[in-house]
Amino acid sequence: MIVPIGPIHPALKEPARLKLKTKGERVISAEIDLGFVHRGIERIMEGKPWQKGIYLSERVCGICSYVHTQTFAETFEKISGVQAPLRAQYLRVITNELDRIQSHLLANSTFFKSVEHETLFMYMLKMREPIMDAIELLTGNRVNMGWNIVGGVRMDAKDEHLQKIHEIILKLEKEFDTYYGMYAEGPFLRLRSNKVGRMSKKEAIEGRAVGPIGRGSGIKKDYRKSHHTYKDNFDFKVIWRKDGDNFARNMNRFDEIPESIKILKQAIENIPSGDTRIPVEIGRGYGEWINEAPRGEVRYMVETNGNLIKNISIRTPSIMNIDCCARYMLNDAMTVSDAIATYASVDPCIACAERVIVTNEKNEKIKIYL
């Protein structure tokens, strides 16, 4: 029997269609169909100056929109042979880690809602709200921040604002253990996630899983460790687990939050003085840049003919993780409800997975790349 779920369904936060092949309640295999919210952002960027391109890049993803503008800006800085001032790099780190915390809390809240633990679902959103306030205090906006430019960040941060952000993260640190323990030690949630949706390290490597999804299956890869700002200035651990189940993926996100708090403390306490932006003459050529988004690897591949974007390709983490979910995690799920919870544990972002529509000279759609 085929059980269709979606594309519009209360269990899904964005449009996708899950097709579950079942035998009784057990899920034998699964397919995930995409293609319901294509916007063609990469094609729209072609021929635009970087000022319009970075505006569009922030709209690739609604939850982790910030990292796209940073990656876009750093790609152009690489092509142009420059680096943002050190103070701007620290401000980017602060914003990136605040964004990572709110994304992880939101991802886990979605999982808790999928297993009908509404209390913990609401507690996650309660913890997330002060972090969103901190982002707004720093950048002026909660989601689409307009914070990065090629050559730095748009404005400086006042010391009193950084101090307030420091107070917010200290408060989060104090209350975090309580809610962490509700999941880590709670029998109901452990029953619904432990040994459910398993993916081995070998399968994660074959499926090219990234971010907390790959690290939850034993892949010890975090692109912050190779980023020049992080590796030269900050001390933190790469969090990983080996069990590869729903519990491991959610706990991996939980365990990354204290590491983000550690980075934030270092950044706020040691932020240097100086400029926050420099003028940049955009170079001509090709460049690639990778950052660690909350969900994993974000890669920008850009070719410019000066100030204009000639070609651009954006690789986002969700498409690999969604594919891994369909190929490995959903196979042999005990129940349909376990399949829904497993899909939620992957924290799929459909908006960032669906970016490109390729057309011919008559502007007729000929192929979709996901």
Whole-angstrom Cα distance, residue 324 to residue 326?
A: 5
Which DSSP helix (H) or strand (E) runs through 284?
strand 284-293
Q: What is the pLDDT of residue 13?
A: 84
Residue 198 has pLDDT above 60, yes or no: yes
pLDDT confidence band for 27 (50 / 70 / 90)? very high
Q: Are strands 17-23 and 26-33 parallel, antiparallel or unpaired?
A: antiparallel
Task: Determine the pLDDT at residue 355.
Answer: 66
- Name the band, by pLDDT with cuts 50, 70 and 90, for residue 370: very low
- Render pLDDT for 126-185 as a digit per residue (tens, 0 to 9): 999 999 999 999 999 998 999 999 999 999 999 999 999 999 999 999 999 889 999 998
Q: What is the chain's mean pLDDT, rounded?
A: 91
The pLDDT tens digits for 217-267 are 999 999 999 999 999 999 999 999 999 999 999 999 999 999 999 999 999
Residue 25 tokens, joined: 């309640």
pTM of the entire predicted model:
0.93
pLDDT value of position 306? 84
Buried b (16+ CB within 10 A) or exposed e, 47-57: ebebeebbebb
Q: What dotted CATH number matches 2-369?
A: 1.10.645.10
Note whether 246 and 111 are within 8 A (CB).
yes
CA dist 288 → 196, 201, 215 (Å): 37, 27, 23
Domain ranges of the chain: 2-369
